[in-house]
Amino acid sequence: MCGIVGYNGSENAAEILLEGLAKLEYRGYDSAGLAVRNGTNDVEIVKAKGRLRVLAEKTNDGKALKGTLGIGHTRWATHGEPSENNAHPHISDDRNVVGVHNGIIENYQELKEKLLRHDYTFYSNTDTEIAIKLIDYYMKKYQEGPVDSIARAMMRIKGSYALAVMFKDYPEELYVARKDSPMVIGIAEGATFVASDVPAILKHTRTVYYIGNQQIAKIGKGTAEFYDIDREPIQLEAEEVTWDAEAAEKGGFEHFMIKEIHEQPKAVRDTISSFVKDGNIDLSEAGLSEADLAAVRSVIIVACGSAYHVGLAGQYVMEKMARIPVRVELASEFRYRDPILCADDLVIVISQSGETADSLAALRLAKEKGVPTLGIVNVVGSSIAREADRVFYTLAGPEIAVATTKAYSAQLAAVYALAIQLAAVRKQINEEEYHDLIAELQELPAKMDRVLEDKERIQWFAAKYSNAKDMFFIGRGIDYAISMEGSLKMKEISYVHSEAYAAGELKHGTISLVEEGTLVVGVCTQNGLFEKTRSNMAEVKTRGAYLMGLTSYGNYAIEDTADFTVYIPRTSEYFATSLAIIPLQLLGYYLSVARGLNVDKPRNLAKSVTVE
């Protein structure tokens, strides 16, 4: 949520800041603003409610703002309604300090009362204005410079934040700090870039620093100096971003989402190639040895949204294949019910961004209790990647559309690898079965390509039912997990009321919602459950539902029940999710397009949810 960009160099800052903010639009926002200064001149601030193009128009695409040092921000309203007044950047009463902020300050009311006692006034309803004025208060009280004033403010602020701040008396410098919200610093010759996420700076540099939790950075022109919260200088290692810059562009596709749907075979292929070595699964890069896995007595998967649905599919696969107990927990609930954890559990936290606030909090709880942790993340250097005991990187590349597709599929591949290796070390599969599963895993990308070849039929079907008001997805076993993700895609980008139900639960109340014309998607990829699910599909059809069936080639009996059927190539039933999810992603995408909606940036949603 929200986006921060910063620049200190020799070019016109406003144009670079606008360009960077455009790369962060996927994070979700309702207003935007820029603050730019030129040498010793006063800071010029321009803010706008609504889309970024409004800000661009107000500044003539940045050309109307002159200066080589600046910060920009896209705001997602948390404290205070969306408005130009509440938009960032915010400034102290005497314009001594100006800054932007991502995150939520939990004790903002307490801090505001403190500042009111010291004659500060407030023009907005935001917690960010309080943070900027708190920094100003410490700057004036102790007169020990920007690093000191920011550090003192950090010690008083409770909550999560990433801050980018400029000071009137330091016209050549920009300062940043963070706690639990992402921040990346890019270095180029004579220029330094700051952003919430890598795509914003990838055009300009691949040399980056991932500033750590409760750390501060002083940003010069092509330089960065780092400090801990005790104001002591520290050294950070620069990293090289290996993403292809074109991966963050649409590449001829109408939307990022459809591009990323088509990139799924590559994302899965790359992820599988990272752990299959010489025909065996090697998890050493994730820090997992066979002895580590053999010591695990149960698995707890913690995640949010689509990553949670990966966990549900993983639960079926791990329990059936490896015969190990698996719990799947919503990260937002995990730490509030005082979970029972044991030293021989393995807590797996799944997050595309590696910054999801609830998932990060769950990880920290597990670590506090002394339980081994594994992060499955897509972003190198992210908070979860740094803080987990071990990290399994998925290789999906940058994912821009808010609705996840290729990151979800890459996460599934990682979970499959863990399941196979757990099964092997627990002697639940023999060597022949082990290598057969790996071979089947390696064939998934080619089979995913075959599923994509059927997209025109799904596009036709979506156009035909673009006025649907209610949809239900039903399935059993793994098919229920697939249904949940398919239903979420429909809600996220098509704004259709959609629910997923375990097919066997229909008769316990849900079937009363089915009426003439209700669209029901029946997922039937598990042979042992095929007839039972088909029977449930027949139940809703007799009550007027229009049925879409989703099954594997060969299960043609489904056509006796379904009105429209989509087939996927046969694969191990353990891996069916990877193929079956693609038609449901396409259905959500094409239905959204047919309804004329903003596919990549659906209303009220953000790519990276860094607040609770």
Tell me the DSSP string of 179-216: EBS--EEEEETTEEEEESSGGGTTTT-SEEEE--TTEE
CA gap 139, 152 in Å, rounded: 9
CA gap 383, 102 in Å, rounded: 15
Lowest mean pLDDT among 28-37, 341-350, 425-434, 561-570: 28-37
From the CB of residue 563, how many other CB atoms can be counted at a distance below 10 Å?
Answer: 14
Nearest-10 crossing angle of helices 478-494, 305-322:
170
Residue with tokens 């690898």: 417
Q: Please say whether the beta carbons of 29 and 72 come within 8 A.
A: no
What pLDDT is recorded for position 463?
Answer: 86
Tell me the DSSP string of 39-55: TTSPPEEEEEESSHHHH
Burial pattern 402-411, b for ≥16 Cβ within 10 A else e, equals: bbbbbbbbbb
**pLDDT of 22 higher than 90:** no
pTM of the full structure: 0.73
DSSP 107: T
What pLDDT is recorded for position 606?
Answer: 57
Residue with tokens 């949010």: 304
Q: Per the residue annotation, which of 2, 179, 266, 406 is the catalytic one?
A: 2
CA gap 296, 28 in Å, rounded: 39
CA gap 220, 239 in Å, rounded: 19
Whole-number average pLDDT of the chain = 89
CA gap 569, 450 in Å, rounded: 8
Strand pairing class (174-179; 215-219): antiparallel
Summarised one tens digit per residue, pLDDT across range 337-394 is 888 999 999 999 999 988 888 999 999 999 999 999 999 999 887 889 989 999 999 9
- pLDDT band (50, 70, 90) for residue 26: low
The secondary element (H helix, E strand) that includes residue 142 is helix 127-142
CATH superfamily, region 455-594: Glucose-6-phosphate isomerase like protein; domain 1 (3.40.50.10490)
Q: Is the dihedral of CA 196, 198, 200, 205 positive or negative?
A: positive
The average pLDDT across 450-463 equals 90
Tell me the DSSP string of 393-419: E-------SSS-SHHHHHHHHHHHHHH
According to CATH, what is the number of the domain 3-241?
3.60.20.10
Summarised one tens digit per residue, pLDDT across range 293-333 is 999 999 999 999 999 999 999 999 999 999 999 999 999 99
Q: Which residues pair with 15 in a beta bridge?
A: none
Q: Please say whether the beta carbons of 573 and 478 come within 8 A.
A: yes
The average pLDDT across 184-202 equals 90
CA gap 47, 604 in Å, rounded: 20
Phi and psi angles of residue 215, each rounded to the nearest 5 degrees, phi first: -120, 160
Q: Which residues pair with 565 in a beta bridge?
A: 549
Q: Is 158 a catalytic residue?
A: no
The secondary element (H helix, E strand) that includes residue 136 is helix 127-142
Hey, what are 485's tokens? Answer: 């993700």
**pLDDT of 612 higher than 60:** no
Question: What is the three-class DSSP state of 535?
Answer: helix
**pLDDT of 183 higher than 90:** no
**pLDDT of 39 higher than 80:** no
**pLDDT of 3 higher than 90:** no
**pLDDT of 120 higher than 90:** yes
Tell me the DSSP string of 2-19: -EEEEEESSS-HHHHHHH
Residue type, 251: G
The average pLDDT across 42-65 equals 88
Asked if residue 265 has a cis previous peptide bond (ω within 30° of 0), the answer is: no
Q: Please say whether the beta carbons of 352 and 382 come within 8 A.
A: no
Summarised one tens digit per residue, pLDDT across range 279-290 is 999 999 999 999
Q: Per the residue annotation, which of 168, 259, 491, 607 is the catalytic one?
A: 607
Q: Please say whether the beta carbons of 335 and 365 come within 8 A.
A: yes
Strand pairing class (345-351; 298-303): parallel
Residue type, 97: V
What pLDDT is recorded for position 77?
Answer: 65
Q: Is the dihedral of CA 331, 257, 275, 325 positive or negative?
A: positive
Give residue limits of the domains in the chain.
Answer: 3-241, 250-451, 455-594
* Residue 449 CB-half CA count within 13 A: 8
Q: Do domains 250-451 and 455-594 have the same CATH topology?
A: yes
**pLDDT of 608 higher than 60:** no
Rg (CA), the chain: 25
Helix ranges (DSSP H) in 426-521? 431-452, 455-464, 478-494
Question: What is the three-class DSSP state of 467?
Answer: coil
Q: Please say whether the beta carbons of 575 and 416 come within 8 A.
A: yes
CATH number (1.10.10.10, 3.30.1330.40, 3.40.50.10490, 3.40.50.300) of 250-451 reads 3.40.50.10490
* Alpha-carbon distance values, 197 to 74, 370, 541 (Å): 13, 31, 47
The average pLDDT across 438-457 equals 94
**pLDDT of 334 higher than 70:** yes
Summarised one tens digit per residue, pLDDT across range 196-214 is 888 888 889 989 998 888 9
What pLDDT is recorded for position 27?
Answer: 60
Q: Which is more confidently placed, 546 or 276?
A: 276
- Among 269, 341, 273, smallest CA distance to 301 is for 341
Helix ranges (DSSP H) in 465-596? 478-494, 530-541, 576-594
What pLDDT is recorded for position 509?
Answer: 72
- Among 547, 519, 528, 275, smallest CA distance to 410 is for 275
The average pLDDT across 13-28 equals 83
The average pLDDT across 473-501 equals 91
Q: Is 2 a catalytic residue?
A: yes
The average pLDDT across 124-152 equals 93
